[in-house]
Chains A and B, each alone.
Chain A
Amino acid sequence: MTIGIEHILAVSGLLFVIGFFGVLLRRNTLVVFMSLELMLNAAMLALVGFSFFNATMEGNVFVLFIIAVAAAEVAVGLAIIVALFRRRHTVQLEELVSLKG
């Protein structure tokens, strides 16, 4: 069997959905954080796949930038989480953030 763009898209879509539901449903801030990274990875996988099958380089370049942006995002996010943990001594989401709009 040859791997086509639809296989890559299926995996990438699955990753994105898993990540999204992780963000929605998990209660530990750090796990939510990891789910976020999963969503970014899904986008990266799709970009690499399209780049390969479109035979253009833009997708690959895009991915390199996303890796850097994701690293910066982790730094900022962890800084906020640590700032909260110092004050509240918990990383459980429902104890940190009231969910009313």
Chain B
Amino acid sequence: MNYLELISHVLPEIAVLVTALVLIGMGCAGGSRGGGKAVLAVTAAGLGLALAAVVFGPESGRLLEGMIVVDALTRLFKAVLLALTLGTALFLFPGGEAGGNEGRGAENSALLLLALLGLLVVVGTENLLLLFVGLELASLALYLMVVFAAPAGRPAEAALRYFFFGSVAAAFLLFGFSFIYGATGSIDLRVIAKVLAAHPVEPILPLGVGLALVGFGFKVAAVPFHLWAPDVYQSAPAPAAGFIASASKVAGFFIVAKVLVLGFGVVEGSADWGAFAMGWAPLVAVLAALSMVVGNLAALAQQSVRRLLAYSGIGHSGFILTALVAANAEAVRAVLFYSVIYGVASLAAFGVAGCVLRARGADRLEDFAGLGRTAPAAAGVLALALLSLAGLPPLVGFFGKFQLFAAALSGGTPGTVPGLLWLVALALLMSAVSLYYYLRVLKQVFFAPAPADAAPTRDTSAGTAVCLVCGSVLVLLGLFPSLVLQPLQRALVQLF
């Protein structure tokens, strides 16, 4: 390995970092005041360069004992993360100006890019040290995004809560990693997998994996580590919440799937009914069941749409973890596919919620009344996003959920009752529950009359463009899911 090779493998990360530094410089020079267009242009250019570096960069490579890994899967997910971040960046600038950010668009964009940098590092590594550093970089930037340039009031409190929960989760993750390192003598996932396959399991390893699961559970907002999510989603500026719900969650599921299946596939255990075996599968199954039940039932009672989206996100974590319990190639494909479409749908939903919030000053269900008439584009996209989350055909959410549940049932010996039937049955039930609260929102949007005195919600150009793109992605993928599934399948063949 030489430095040229190293640089060529981390070119996307370098592009993002340099752009972030340029933006911080612009912020210091006061360039963000009235220069929102310049900030947006720099951000978009940086993300575009990084995307080009991903697409045209090296196709595979494994440097520094797995610290930097480039293969089809990491390239696909880096591209997804960059696209989601570009969408978030456009939401930061309603109408192309730094209007909603009190003249702090440059710093806000820089934080967004630093968070993205952390996620890119997380996706592109098989090393526990870089995994931790990347997660922390993303988390620290996200804590600040929640509190930064937000109107006075709750965001700082939500950020403090997010910070404390996040730091405790990071400590658990770290303590778990130290036990994993102690039990296997390595922090490289592939070496760990080899050691586990060759030697009997050390007694401290289960403890390490369990502690690490606490940290990962926080990252994907699984019950009982979800307490930060509703407050943060509700109080943070809408673009920050959208990023946490989309890009951060996609990277979270990517890394959970990769660590558990790639590193600890040997100690999976079993969560099959009547055949429980110690391992991480029963733990994940419990997280999944709790998340589905708590998330979906709590969402029923919410009045704030962003809070509702937070609880629905917790429920979706449960759906995704359900498939992860099966832990075969099909399950990993379903998990990754669904996390991507979940990210797209929530980005669109938070974008529309942000539009309403700017126009009406609140995001209660009543504030969405009459949106279908005043802002038909936004309302249409919101309908697509929510119905996709609910899993109605022909939107991609239906196909994604079908894959998740089919993958969960695919394990076990043929001809017998699938062992995970209990979990999938629960998931189907909760899926039906979720349809009710999504339709509650849509009923307000399309059938309730707009209050006469309310300021009309108008579509803003940049935000609407992103929403429309997200909406058309949801429809297009629903009709042709193989557009993403086939590259994913090819990428996974290399992994397994």
Residues of A within 8 A of B (CB): 5, 9, 16, 19-20, 23, 29, 32, 36, 39-40, 42-43, 46-47, 49-51, 53-54, 56, 58-59, 61-62, 65-66, 69, 72-73, 76-77, 79-81, 83-84, 87, 96-98, 101
Contacts and interface: CB of A to CB of B under 8 A. Distances in A.
A75 B428 CA distance: 45
B107 to A, nearest CB: 13
Interface of B: 128-129, 132-133, 136, 140, 143-144, 147, 152, 156-157, 159-161, 163-164, 167-168, 170-172, 174-175, 177-179, 181-182, 185-187, 204, 226-227, 230, 298
A39 B171 contact: yes
Given A29-B160, A56-B185, A76-B163, 6 more contacts: A50-B178, A50-B182, A62-B181, A77-B143, A80-B159, A84-B156
B168 A50 contact: no
Contacts of A62: 128-129, 132, 177-178, 181, 187
Chain B at the A interface: mostly helix, strand, loop or mixed?
helix
A39 B156 CA distance: 24
11 contacts: A5-B182, A20-B168, A58-B186, A62-B129, A62-B187, A77-B143, A77-B163, A80-B159, A81-B160, A97-B157, A101-B227
- A-B CB proximity, top 8 nearest: A50-B182, A39-B171, A43-B174, A46-B178, A47-B178, A43-B175, A54-B185, A84-B156
A85 B92 CA distance: 27
B174 A66 contact: yes
Contacts of A16: 171, 175
Centre residue among B147, B152, B170, B204 by max chain A CB count within 10 A: B170
A96 B161 CA distance: 9
B168 A23 contact: yes
Nearest to A72: B140
A65 B132 contact: yes
A96 B160 contact: yes
Given A54-B185, A58-B181, A80 B160 contact: yes
A54 B184 CA distance: 9
B178 A23 contact: no
A62 B152 CA distance: 39
Centre residue among B128, B159, B174, B298 by max chain A CB count within 10 A: B174
B171 A43 contact: yes
A46 B156 contact: no
A76 B160 contact: no
B187 A39 contact: no
B312 to A, nearest CB: 15
A87 B218 CA distance: 28
Contacts of B152: 87
A47 B161 CA distance: 28
Contact of B147 (A36, A40, A66, A80): A80
A96 B182 CA distance: 39
B174 A87 contact: no
B175 A36 contact: no
A50 B207 CA distance: 15
Contacts of A84: 156-157, 160
B244 to A, nearest CB: 16
A65 B129 contact: yes
Contacts of B143: 76-77, 80
A83 B156 contact: yes
A42 B167 contact: no
Contact of A39 (B133, B163, B168, B226): B168
Centre residue among B171, B175, B179 by max chain A CB count within 10 A: B171
B44 to A, nearest CB: 27
B391 to A, nearest CB: 25
A58 B171 contact: no
Contacts of A53: 182
B129 A61 contact: yes
Contact of B167 (A36, A51, A83): A36
A97 B187 CA distance: 37
Contacts of B187: 58, 62
Given A16-B175, A20-B168, A40-B171, A87 B156 contact: yes
Centre residue among A62, A87, A96 by max chain B CB count within 10 A: A62
Centre residue among B133, B147, B152, B181 by max chain A CB count within 10 A: B181
A87 B156 CA distance: 10
Contacts of A83: 147, 156
A19 B171 contact: yes
Given A23-B168, A36-B171, A54-B182, A69 B157 contact: no
